[in-house]
Amino acid sequence: MSRIRSRDTSPEMIVRRLVHAMGYRYRLHVANLPGKPDIVLPRLKRIIEVRGCFWHHHSGCIDSHFPKSRPEYWGPKLERNQRRDEENGRKLRELGWRVCVVWECEATAAGKVSKRLARFLGKRGVPSRKIGLR
């Protein structure tokens, strides 16, 4: 588990490239906000969270499953992650931030994510080919 990265993951890098291509500048993993959000746009009071489907138990996703080995360990661990995500989201909204969650399985479809992020950030989407994604 020490090899599991929490920063600079492939889905996070895709989302960061999309946001940057839209012309936005952002801060990464701001420590003084609840949950150290992945992408923070302070001027807009917007936060983009990029979550792994397995670790944050994305309901309805094929990558979101409980392992068959050691269910007594994995069950509570993954449930704690979900509760922590909900709590951090609530705290951020109370502080006046708007939060968008992008799941790992969604990040691979750059066109859809680009449109969704453009709506969330209030700007027209950028074609995915402009930043080298297909």
More confident of the two residues 124 and 64: 64
Structure-token pair, residue 1: 């588990």
46-82 as b/e: b if 16+ CB within 10 A: bbbbbbbbbbbbbeeeeebeeeeeeeeeeeeebeebe
Q: Indicate whether 60 belongs to any domain.
A: yes
18: domain range?
10-126
**Does residue 112 lie in a domain region?**
yes
Residue 52: closest CA among 99, 16, 8, 93? 8
On the 0-12 / 13-18 / 19+ scale of CB atoms within 10 A, 14 is buried
* Span 56-94, pLDDT tens digits: 888 888 777 778 899 899 889 989 999 999 999 999 999
Q: Has residue 131 been placed in a domain?
A: no
Q: Which of the four pLDDT bands, split at 50, 70 and 90, describes residue 5? A: low
Let me know if residue 24 belongs to a domain: yes
Q: What angle do CA 93, 81, 69 make, to 5 degrees?
A: 165
Would 105 be classed as within a structural domain?
yes
Query: 130: Cβ–Cβ under 8 A, 6 or more apart, which residues?
Result: 21
In a domain, 65, yes or no: yes
What local confidence, expressed as pLDDT, does residue 109 receive?
A: 82
Kindly state whether residue 111 falls inside one of the protein's structural domains: yes
Distance from C-alpha of 107 to C-alpha of 104, rounded to nearest angstrom: 5
User: 12-37 pLDDT, tens per residue?
Assistant: 999 999 999 999 999 999 999 999 99
Name the residue with higher pLDDT: 25 or 2.
25
- For the record, the structure tokens of 21 come out as 């291509």
| 61 occurs within a structural domain | yes
CATH number (domain holding residue 55): 3.40.960.10
- Number of structural domains, the chain? 1
